[in-house]
A and B are shown apart, each in its own frame.
Chain A
C-alpha cells in the first residue's frame, strides 16, 4: 500500500511541475515542444511500476543519458584530445621504429664489412645497408602496433677500396702477411659493376640518412697497401670478388643476391 501511495505522490508532483513549467514558459513558440517533453515525463511516471518490473535498469540508463547531456561539450573535447594523443603515439612509434631500423642497419653494415674483409682479404671502403620493415613497406598505417614487423634487406651496397683487384679467385691471401712489396702508386680502376640493383624500391622515411651514417671509412686498412699495379684481368677479378661477396652475404646474412651491389672505387 505504501508503494501505491508513493506512486500517487510522484504523479501529483510531476503534474504540478508540468503546470508550473507551462506557466513559466516565455512564449507560445516553445510551448508545443515543452509540452511534449513534459507529457513524456508524466507518462514515464505513470508507467513507473511497469518500468520497474520490466526494465529495472531503465533508471540508471536515463540518468547516464541525461548526465551525458549535461557534460556533452566537455566529453567531445576529451574525445578529440584522445584522438590526437593516439595520433601522437602512432607518430612516436613510427619514429622509434625508424631509429631502431637505422641502428640495426649500421650494426649489420659494420659486421658485414668485417666478414667481407676477412673472407676476401679485400679492403672494403664502406658497406651500406638499407633495411626495410615489411609493415612499413606495405604502407598500411592501420596495422596494429603489436604486430612484429619482418625486417628485410632492401639494398646492400659494398664499396671496395681503391686497390684490391688482384686476388680474385683465391681470396685467402691474408693481408697481414706483410709481403707488401713497396707502396706503388695508386691505380685507379674505374670499373662499375652495377648489376642487380633492382630490388631497391624507393623507400621512405629518412633512410637516406642511414646511408651516410653507415659509412665506415677505411683509409688505413692493411689491404690498401697491397696495391700492385698490374691489373691484367680486372674484369674477371672484379666479377670473382663480387660473386664471392654476394655468396658470403647471402650465406651469412640472408641477403637476396639481387639486393647486393658491389662498387669499386
Chain B
C-alpha cells in the first residue's frame, strides 16, 4: 500500500510537471524538487527501522559500533549527495551536480583516513626494525 502511495505521488507530480512545463518551467522544477524531498523524508522513517535492526545485530555479534557507524555514514553521504545532484541535474546544471558528487566522494574518502592510518600503523609495527 505504501509503495502504491509513493508511486502515485510520483506519477501525479510527473503529470503536473508535464502540464506546467510549457508555461512555467520554474514551477515545474519546484514541483519536482519538492516531490523528491517528500519521498526522501517518507523513506527516512523506514531507514530508521532498518538501522535499529542493524545496530542490534552488531551489538549482539560483538562488532565494534564504530564500524557500523562508519558504514552508515557512508550510506548517508552517498544518498544525500546523490539526491542533491539529481535535483540540480533536473534543473539543468550538470556542472554543479558533478561537483556535488565529487564532494560526496571526497567525504567518503575522508572517512577512510583513520582506518587506513590504523592499518598502516599495525603493519609498520609488524615489520622488524
Contacts and interface: CB of A to CB of B under 8 A. Distances in A.
Interface of A: 6, 9-10, 12-14, 17-18, 20-21, 24-27, 29-30, 33-34, 36-38, 40-41, 43-45, 47, 50-51, 54-55, 58-59, 61-63, 65-66, 69
A14 B67 contact: yes
A10 B61 contact: yes
Given A51-B118, A69-B110, A13 B58 contact: yes
A40 B119 contact: yes
Interface string B1-41: 00000000000000000000000000000000000000000
Given A21-B71, A30-B82, A69-B110, 9 more contacts: A26-B82, A29-B82, A33-B105, A37-B70, A37-B74, A50-B126, A54-B126, A62-B118, A66-B69
B64 interface: yes
Contacts of B62: 6, 9-10
Interface string B57-77: 110011110111111011100
Interface residues of B, number: 40
Contacts of A9: 61-63
Contact of A41 (B71, B75, B109): B71
Q: Lowest 3 A-B CB distances belong to which pairs?
A: A65-B114, A26-B82, A54-B125
Interface string B88-129: 000000000000010011001111111111110110011000
Contact of B66 (A38, A51, A54, A63): A63
A33 to B, nearest CB: 5
A51 B122 contact: yes
A29 B104 CA distance: 10
B42 interface: no
A55 B117 CA distance: 12
B74 A62 contact: no
12 contacts: A24-B75, A30-B105, A37-B70, A38-B71, A40-B116, A54-B125, A54-B126, A61-B117, A62-B118, A63-B66, A66-B66, A66-B70
B87 to A, nearest CB: 13
B114 A47 contact: no
Nearest to B98: A29
